[in-house]
Amino acid sequence: MSDTNPHALFDAWYAEARGGEPNDSNAMALATADAQGRPSVRMVLLKGHDTRGFVFYTNFESRKAEELLANPQAALLFHWKSLRRQIRIEGPVTRVTNEEGDAYFATRSRDSQLGAWASDQSRPLESRALFEERFHAMEARFEGQPVPRPPHWSGFRVTPMTIEFWLDRAHRLHERRLFVRDGDGWIESLLYP
Q: State the catalytic residues.
A: 172
Task: Please name every residue paired with 191 in a beta bridge, in sequence order, or none if there are none.
Answer: 176
CA-wise closest residue to 88 among 20, 150, 31, 24: 31
Q: Are 54 and 46 in contact (CB under 8 A)?
A: yes
Q: Which secondary structure element, helix H or strand E, spans residue 105, and what is its range?
A: helix 98-107
Task: Please name every residue paired with 90 in a beta bridge, in sequence order, or none if there are none.
Answer: 75, 162
Task: Please name every residue paired with 88 in a beta bridge, in sequence order, or none if there are none.
Answer: 77, 164
